[in-house]
Structure 1
Amino acid sequence: MNILDDLKLQYKIGGIALRVIYWNIACFLISLFFYQFSIGQFDFPNWLELSSSPDVFLFKPWTFLTYAFFHASFLHLLFNMMVLNFSSQLFLTFFTQKQYLGLYILSAIFAGVVFALSYYFLGYSGSIVGASAAIMAILVAATTYQPLMNVRLLLIGNVKLWHITAVILILDLMQLRLENMGGHISHLAGALFGFIYIKLLQNGSDLSIVISRTLDFFSNLFKKSPSTPFKKVHKNYQKPTEKVTSRIVTKDKTQQQIDEILDKISQSGYDCLTKEEKEFLFKAGK
């Protein structure tokens, strides 16, 4: 089996988390053919990145999702995919693959909206790309559900899951006013959505159902109905049978009257017979 076949097999049986990682890698590789390389980063066109300008995102609403599958550099992609793989294993320990995909998509959209609105009201202008916001949502969701879960880290040992998440959130807060403020805003927005998602889920409301039903709708819409092969129906025709005349011989009237009288005697006795019935029975017995 060559490398390509091995990748196809892993994609097929690896589950939704591995597929999302593959999608991110594929989008990055595709970007190599379309974007110019400049100072270690790719110059994204505004029809893929999420811009804070209403003149852009109002006419390109898909950018609220596409930005979460593209990355500015190889190191950006590598770090995000490592954290995504770590967070995915934690989340899928407790929840389903449909919930995972629903949370990834919804948190990316939510974080994108928060970023665009924040920059607009603050009077800033900028754009973002990367899966960090959705990754933070998945990590915080797992932490909210099981904060005391032990996680073994290399060179450190066992630590509580909430300790790891808290350190990452604190780093984002510390860098909020520094470089890449838009990215850190989206990270914190994604974390907030992950927290809200679990709290609503614990109260019986699963927001991921919206994504699951939407994807199922389009999947069934484009799915070909199974064609039934033509079946030739054979009918067995039988020749009409001739009407068979009854072979039952009816009793004559005298014998019928005798039987009726005997039945009456067996049920109610001889004394119940009328005078005419007694005379008829007497004459018939001669």
Structure 2
Amino acid sequence: MNILDDLKLQYKIGGISLRLIYWNIACFLISLVFFYQYSGGGFDYPNWLELSSDPQVFIFKPWTFLTYAFFHSSFLHLLFNMMVLNFASQLFLTFFTQKQYLGLYILGAVFTGIIFSFSFYFLNISAPIVGASGAIMAILVAATTYQPLMNVRLLLIGNVKLWHITGVILILDLMQLRLDNTGGHISHLAGAFFGFAYIKLLQNGTDLSIIVSKILDFFANLFKKSQTTPFKKVHKNYKKPTEKTTSRIVTKDKTQQQIDEILDKISQSGYDCLTKEEKEFLFKAGK
């Protein structure tokens, strides 16, 4: 089995978490081909992919509240996010389903994008953002909120509580909020809040991921090929139309009425008083 076949097999059996990693890597590779500026050494994403804080842009391109979460600004940006995503995915999927995982990732990305856009708008800052970190933080904090005392073994450190790891990441975001990459830190904190809120609502009986599941199921059923039944030739036996029963009844009634009138005439005046036509009619009716 070659490397390509191995990757296909892993994608097929790896579950939704591995597929999300593959999708992010694929988008990064596409970015290198179409959006990387080799002269400037950076990415130049179009405003129909990246998320802008300018209302005149994102209002007319609402899909960017999701697409931005599949593109990254550098290889290190992608590498760090995918490492954290892989770590958070294993924790989250220990307790929840893959549909809940995908729903939380998508909703976390959308919520994070909304908070980023409105925060920068009120701060009077116009800037774009790309990256999956907000959605990843939603998954990490959701797992931490549900099982904060879970032991996690870290290399060179040993066993630590899950909430210790998540707490350190959030503290670093708060400390650097006004120093560098403000939009990135806002998205991290927004994703963390959404992950916390998701678990609290889930514990109260409200699963927000059902929204995403229903939308995806709708489109899946919409594009599913409908099964067509083979054409069947239908043979119909031709039946000669029969006379209507009502017409026979009417004819019989008129004939009988005429016979009765002739018989009355005979009883009153005798047979000789009948006309030639009446005699012939009576003779035919008696056959």
After TM superposition, list the pairs within 5 Å mapping 1:138-149 onto structure 2: 138-149=139-150
Q: TM-score, normalised by structure 1?
A: 0.79
CA distance in 1, matches of 2:228, 2:161: 54
Where 1:176 maps in the other structure, the secondary structure is coil
Report the residue type matching 1:196 in the other structure: A
CA distance in 2, matches of 1:61, 1:50: 9
Q: Which runs of 5+ in 1 are unaligned?
A: 234-286
Q: How many pairs align?
A: 234
Equivalent in the alignment of 1:170: 171
Q: TM-score, normalised by structure 2?
A: 0.79
Where 2:62 maps in the other structure, the secondary structure is coil
After TM superposition, list the pairs within 5 Å mapping 1:112-261 onto structure 2: 112-229=113-230
Change (3 A) 1:40 1:207: same
CA distance in 2, matches of 1:231, 1:6: 46
Report the residue type matching 1:41 in the other structure: G
> What's the CA shift string for 1:253-276, capped at 9, x where partnerless?
xxxxxxxxxxxxxxxxxxxxxxxx
**What is the Cα deviation at residue 123 of structure 1?**
1.1
CA distance in 2, matches of 1:84, 1:190: 13
Where 1:20 maps in the other structure, the secondary structure is helix
The reply on whether 1:28 has 2:55 as its aligned counterpart is no
Verify the 8 A CA contact 1:84 1:135 in the aligned structure 2.
yes
The reply on whether 1:66 has 2:45 as its aligned counterpart is no
> What's the CA shift string for 1:185-222, capped at 9, x where partnerless?
01100000000000000000000000000000000000
Equivalent in the alignment of 2:49: 48
Pairwise CA RMSD of aligned residues? 1.6
CA distance in 2, matches of 1:81, 1:41: 20
Report the residue type matching 1:164 in the other structure: I
**What is the Cα deviation at residue 179 of structure 1?**
1.3
Q: Which moved more, 1:31-40 or 1:90-99?
A: 31-40
Verify the 8 A CA contact 1:152 1:159 in the aligned structure 2.
yes
Equivalent in the alignment of 2:278: none
Q: Which runs of 5+ in 2 are unaligned?
A: 235-287
Verify the 8 A CA contact 1:40 1:73 in the aligned structure 2.
no
Report the residue type matching 2:174 in the other structure: L
**What is the Cα deviation at residue 181 of structure 1?**
0.1
**What is the Cα deviation at residue 81 of structure 1?**
0.2
Equivalent in the alignment of 1:247: none
CA distance in 2, matches of 1:206, 1:17: 19
Percentage of pairs with the same residue: 83
**What is the Cα deviation at residue 225 of structure 1?**
2.1
Q: Which moved more, 1:219-228 or 1:192-201?
A: 219-228
CA distance in 2, matches of 1:38, 1:210: 43
CA distance in 1, matches of 2:226, 2:122: 50
CA distance in 2, matches of 1:142, 1:38: 42
CA distance in 2, matches of 1:231, 1:96: 45
**What is the Cα deviation at residue 231 of structure 1?**
7.4
> What's the CA shift string for 1:30-72, capped at 9, x where partnerless?
1111112355431212111111011111111111000000001
Report the residue type matching 1:31 in the other structure: S
